[in-house]
Amino acid sequence: MALPEPSRIPGGLAQPAGRVYNFNGGPAALPLPVLEEAAAELLNWRGTGMSILENSHRDKKVVAMALEAEDDLKSLLRLGEDWKVLFLQGGASLQFAMIPMNFAPDGLPCDYVNTGMWSDKAYKEARLVGADARLAASSEDDGFTYIPDSFSFRLASRYVYLTSNNTVRGTQWKAFPSRPPAPLVADMSSDFLSRPLDLTDFALVHAGAQKNVAPAGLTIVLVRKDFALNGKKGLPHLLDYRTYIDSDSMYNTPPVFCIYVAGLVFKWLKAQGGLDRVCLRNEAKAKRLYDAIDSSGGFYRGTAREDSRSLMNVTYRLPSPELEKKFLEEGKAQGLCGLGGHRSVGGVRASIYNAVPDAGVDALIAFMKDFQAANG
Q: Model confidence over 267-278: pLDDT tens digits?
A: 999 999 999 999
Q: Model confidence over 40-58: pLDDT tens digits?
A: 999 999 999 999 999 999 8
What's the chain's average pLDDT?
94
* Under 8 Å between Cβ of 52 and 257: yes
Query: What's the pLDDT score for residue 16?
Result: 77
Count CA atoms closer than 13 A to 256's CA, side-chain side.
Answer: 20
Q: Is the pLDDT of residue 5 over 80?
A: no
Of 132, 187, 240, 362, the active-site residue reads 187
Instruction: Return d(Cα 345, Cα 2) in angstroms, integer.
Output: 42
Q: Which residue spans of the chain are classified as CATH 3.90.1150.10?
A: 273-375
Of 45, 72, 84, 118, the active-site residue reads 118
User: Mean pLDDT, to the nearest integer, of 353-361?
Assistant: 96
3 state SS of 125: helix
Rg (CA), the chain: 21
Q: Among 144, 129, 134, 135, which Cα is nearest to 95's?
A: 129
3 state SS of 348: strand
Task: Spell out a b/e string for 287-306, using b for 16 or more CB atoms within 10 Å of the CB, else e.
Answer: eebbebbeebeebbebbbee
Within 8 A by CB and 6+ apart from 257, the residues are 52, 53, 215, 217
* Under 8 Å between Cβ of 75 and 216: no
Q: Which residue spans of the chain are classified as CATH 3.40.640.10?
A: 45-270
Query: What's the pLDDT score for residue 32?
Result: 94
Q: Among 375, 358, 366, 364, which Cα is nearest to 13's?
A: 358
3 state SS of 6: helix
Catalytic residue at 124? no
Instruction: Return d(Cα 216, Cα 214) in angstroms, integer.
Output: 7
Q: What one-character-per-residue DSSP string does 150-208 give?
A: -----TT-S-EEEESEETTTTEE-SSPPSS-SS-EEEE-TTTTTSS----TTEEEEEEE
Q: Is the pLDDT of residue 358 over 70?
A: yes
Within 8 A by CB and 6+ apart from 132, the residues are 104, 107, 108, 109, 110
Query: What's the pLDDT score for residue 376?
Result: 86
* Under 8 Å between Cβ of 52 and 256: yes
Within 8 A by CB and 6+ apart from 275, the residues are 76, 77, 193, 194, 195, 196, 197, 269
Instruction: Return d(Cα 229, Cα 240) in angstroms, integer.
Output: 10
Of 83, 173, 211, 362, the active-site residue reads 211
User: Mean pLDDT, to the nearest integer, of 288-309?
Assistant: 98
CA 259 to chain centre: 15
Query: What's the pLDDT score for residue 12?
Result: 40
Catalytic residue at 332? no
CATH of domain 45-270: 3.40.640.10
Write out the H or E segment, with its range, that includes residue 55: none
Name the DSSP letter for residue 141. Answer: G
Catalytic residue at 187? yes
Taking CA atoms, 173 is separated from 115, 316, 375, in Å, by: 10, 19, 35
User: Mean pLDDT, to the nearest integer, of 328-337?
Assistant: 96
pTM of the model: 0.93
Q: Is the pLDDT of residue 213 over 80?
A: yes
Taking residue 251's Cβ as centre, other Cβ atoms within 10 Å add up to: 15
CATH of domain 273-375: 3.90.1150.10
Q: Which amino acid is at 190?
A: S
3 state SS of 59: coil
Backbone angles phi, psi at 218, to 5 degrees: -115, 135
